[in-house]
Amino acid sequence: MEFKILDSIPDLTNLKSFTERYFSKRYITNVNGVKNNDIMIMFHSNRIALLSLAPSHFFFNKKNDFKVNYSLGNINRLSNSVKGKSKKGGQHLVPKSVICKIEYEDGTSFAVPCCMKGSLVEVNEELVKNPKLLREYPDEDGYIAIILSSIAISEATKNEMLTHEEYLKVLNSFELND
Partner 1 sequence: MNDSEVIKLCKELGCCDACCLRYVGLKTPIAYENAKQFLVKYVKEKLEPVNNDEHSKGQDETKPDHVDQSKEQGKEESANNVEQSKEQDLTEPASDVNHSTDQETEPLKHEVDSEALRNEVDNRTHKKEADESTCDTSGAKEMSGEPPAKKQKLDSICVSCLGVLQEENWQQCNTMVKELLHKKQYESETFACALSAPIATMLREHYVMLCLKEKFTHYDTKQLTPLKEAWKWSFGAQLAAHVGMAQDSGAVSPLLVTLNLEYPDDLQELEVLKTLSASLFESRSKQRQRFAVEFTRRSVEQALRDVTLAGLRRQAAWARGAPVPRTHTAPVSVQAAHAPLYLGGRYVKLSRMLPQTPWLVNGLRMMHSSVQETIFEPIARLYGMSPEEMEHRLKFMSAGREDVDVRCLGEGRPFAVEVSDPQRQPTADELRRLCDEISEGEQVIVKNLVKVSREDLALLKKGEETKSKTYEALCIKLSHTEDDELTANGDTAVRVTERDIANINSYRNSDSDSSRVLLTQRTPIRVLHRRPLLTRTRRIHDLTAYRVPGHPQLFVVRLRTEAGTYVKEWAHGEAGRTRPRLQDALRARADILALDVASVDLPWPNTQPIHST
Residues that contact partner 1, how many (by CB under 8 A): 33
- Taking CB under 8 A as the rule, does residue 48 contact partner 1? yes
- Taking CB under 8 A as the rule, does residue 13 contact partner 1? no
Residue list 106-135, contact with partner 1 (CB under 8 A): 121-122, 124, 126, 133
- Taking CB under 8 A as the rule, does residue 103 contact partner 1? no
- Taking CB under 8 A as the rule, does residue 9 contact partner 1? yes
Strand spans (E) along the chain: 23-28, 39-44, 49-53, 66-69, 71-72, 75-76, 92-93, 98-104, 109-113, 118-123, 145-148
- Taking CB under 8 A as the rule, does residue 146 contact partner 1? yes
Q: Which is nearer to partner 1, 7 or 106 (CB)?
A: 7
Distance CA 75, CA 53 (A): 21
- Taking CB under 8 A as the rule, does residue 18 contact partner 1? yes
Shortest gap between Cβ of 29 and partner 1 (angstroms)? 23
Pick from 30, 60, 140, 163 the residue near partner 1 by CB under 8 A: 140
* Cβ-Cβ contacts under 8 Å for 116 (sequence gap 6 or more): 41, 49, 93, 95, 147, 149, 153, 154, 157
